[in-house]
A and B are shown apart, each in its own frame.
Chain A
Amino acid sequence: MSLHCQDTQQLLQPYLDGEFDGDEKCALEAHLSGCKTCQSIAQAELSFRKAMRESLSTPPLPKGFRDKILRALDESDERARPSWGRRAAPLAGAFAVAAAAAFVFGSQVLWPVHDESVLVRDAVRMHQRNLPSEVSSDGLDSLFAGRMEVPVRPPPRLHGINADIKGARFSRLLGRDSAEVVYNVPGHRLSLHIFAAKSKVDTRGVRREKVGGRVFFVGQDRGYVVVYTQKNEVGYVLTSDMQAKQLMKAFAAELADPPTRQLPRHQPQR
């Protein structure tokens, strides 16, 4: 097989990338050895690759990043460990699980579990991912200022449950942009998504409940409680392993506050 310049130049890149062997390689090398033009193009290609490798240094991993990944893996292991609320019990165990749930929640039985609720599934998924915050409570103003469709500043304080704002990030929930605020509540983690709810949120598969004069939608999945409510076309989704009643009560009180009042800042938890 003998090659012309045009063929050679077309095959030059895969050749230089080491993709050819046998006949193709021999034919290319035979042409290159006798053709100055193709040789100089090959030389130019090689010099470009070298220049690229030398000028694009690999950036170092951000400080503490590997540890962050290891912690995320720990949490993933933790979640994968079988427990009554986390791993779906096969049919034989279903009744035992139901009984345990009823016992644990007493009068607040959150039953049945609706796997079909998009709202619950999405909220729990985001809560479990526990992605890093972009800012601590001090940076909330600058992070969300003018960048969200809905008012986020100041974020709800949730004093009723001793919540402390841990941080916040831009996020997505139900296919909408949201501001995700993460709180530390003694013994629990709580995340709150705030988003524009001009279009209706799909509340199929969740229970409707009225607490403190406010309508909430409540669901549960994998041991987490998800509570949704809205006010003035702003949607709020709370996800936590706390009790639903407690969350609804605190949040109903929160939204009853005059929205324009300047609220004190919180210190991030160390």
Chain B
Amino acid sequence: MTDPSNKRADFETEALPHLGALYGTALRLTRNERDAEDLVQECALRAYRFWHRYKPGTNCKAWMFRILHNTFVTRYHKRRREQEIALAAADETATQTESINWDVVSQQPEFSDAMTAALDSLQPEFRMAVILCDLHELTYKEIAEAMQCPVGTVMSRLHRGRKLLQQQLREHAVEQGVLRANDPIDLAAFRDRKNSQ
């Protein structure tokens, strides 16, 4: 429990530095700037209102993400059912294991756009898990708290989310001619092929 008399100062010091991370995540969740701003503003106001519930010394960023996620889910509640159906469908497709060397693939122009598009295409629950883990380096426990789900669910969302991303980017790489269909590559193989052309 924080000291109520320092509420504003504490909030500005502890919570507001995470605005950038929140906005970046909100932008990926909502996929447009206007909604992202609304979402972050609402999240900040809620966090401020419930600041007395924040335990000093715990991960404030994770706490803010929890509020962001809640706000997002409440706002987009209507679309949730559709998401759940899509989640079940995604389950079947994301099982492939490959050893692609992404250091090579990611050097290609447009890779960044392709990555953004692939992330945007994921169901929000996968997207959120991947963003929190890979971009904001939250632990599984923190992600579970932010998304209010068991750690096991976090694991499976991350696993499926990453596999789906890899699948899409693999297709993109094949389209760009960086990868051959059905042919996982490593750096040496890619160089060989380049040299032989």
- Asked if A21 lies at the interface with its beta carbon under 8 angstroms from chain B, I say no
Residue contact B42 to A129, C-beta cutoff 8 Å: yes
Evaluate contact between B116 and A61: CB separation under 8 angstroms.
no
- Whether B101 pairs with A56 at a CB distance below 8 angstroms is no
Q: How far is the CA of A222 from the CA of B8 in the complex (A)?
A: 22
Q: Which residues does B use to contact A, with CB under 8 Å? A: 8, 11-12, 16, 19-21, 23-24, 27, 33-34, 37-38, 40-42, 44-45, 48-49, 97-103, 105-106, 111-112, 115-116, 119, 130, 133-135, 139-140, 155, 158-159, 162, 165-166, 186
> Residue A58 contacts which of B16, B20, B159, B186 (CB distance < 8 angstroms)?
B20
With beta carbons under 8 angstroms apart, the residue of A41, A51, A57, A69 that contacts B97 is A41
- Looking across the interface, which residue of chain B has its beta carbon closest to that of A68? B41
**Are A13 and B165 interface neighbours, CB within 8 A?**
no
CA distance A51 to B166 in the complex (A): 11
CA distance A47 to B101 in the complex (A): 6
Task: Give the complex CA separation of A41 and B115 in angstroms.
Answer: 20
Interface membership of A81, Cβ < 8 A: no
**Total interface residues on A, using CB and 8 Å?**
41
Residue contact A58 to B106, C-beta cutoff 8 Å: no
Quick one: given A9-B97, A51-B105, A59-B24, are A76 and B19 in contact (CB under 8 Å)?
no
Interchain residue pairs A-B with the least CB separation, the first 4: A51-B106, A55-B112, A47-B102, A40-B99
- Grouping DSSP codes into helix (H, G, I), strand (E, B) and loop, the B interface class, with mixed when no group exceeds half, is helix
Q: What are 17 A-B pairs at a CB distance below 8 A?
A: A13-B162, A17-B133, A40-B99, A44-B102, A48-B100, A49-B134, A50-B106, A55-B106, A56-B116, A61-B23, A62-B23, A65-B19, A66-B19, A72-B45, A132-B38, A132-B41, A134-B34
Q: How far does the Cβ of B80 sit from chain A's closest Cβ, in whole Å?
A: 16
Asked if A73 is at the interface of the complex by the 8 Å CB criterion, the answer is: yes
Given the complex of chains A and B, what is the CA–CA distance between A57 and B34 in angstroms? 19
* In contact, B135 and A50 (Cβ under 8 angstroms): no
Apart from A44-B98, A55-B106, list 10 A-B contacts with CB within 8 A.
Answer: A17-B139, A48-B102, A51-B102, A51-B106, A52-B115, A58-B21, A58-B135, A68-B41, A76-B49, A131-B38
A65 contacts B23, C-beta separation under 8 Å: yes
- Please tell me if the beta carbons of A59 and B102 are within 8 angstroms of each other in the complex: no
Query: Are B37 and A76 in contact, with the CB atoms below 8 A?
Result: no
Q: Which residues does chain A contribute within 8 Å of B20, judged by CB atoms?
A: 58, 60-61
CA distance A147 to B186 in the complex (A): 51
B11 touches A73 (CB 8 A): yes
- Assess whether A116 is interfacial by the CB under 8 Å rule: no
A202 within 8 A of B: no
CA distance A125 to B111 in the complex (A): 44
Q: Is the CB of A48 within 8 A of B162?
A: yes
Q: Is the CB of A69 within 8 A of B41?
A: yes
Nearest chain A CB to B152 CB, angstrom units: 11
B33 touches A62 (CB 8 A): yes
The yes or no answer to A77 lying at the interface (CB within 8 A) is yes
Q: In the bound complex, do residue A56 and residue B23 qualify as a contact, i.e. CB atoms below 8 Å apart?
A: no
Contacts of A18 in B (CB 8 A): 139
Question: Is A77 within 8 A of B19, CB to CB?
Answer: no
A59-B23, A132-B38 known; A44 and B116 CB under 8 Å? no
Chain B residues positioned under 8 Å from A23 (CB to CB): none
Q: Are the CB atoms of A40 and B27 closer together than 8 Å?
A: no
Looking at A52, A56, A131, the one whose CB has the most chain B CB atoms below 10 A away is A52
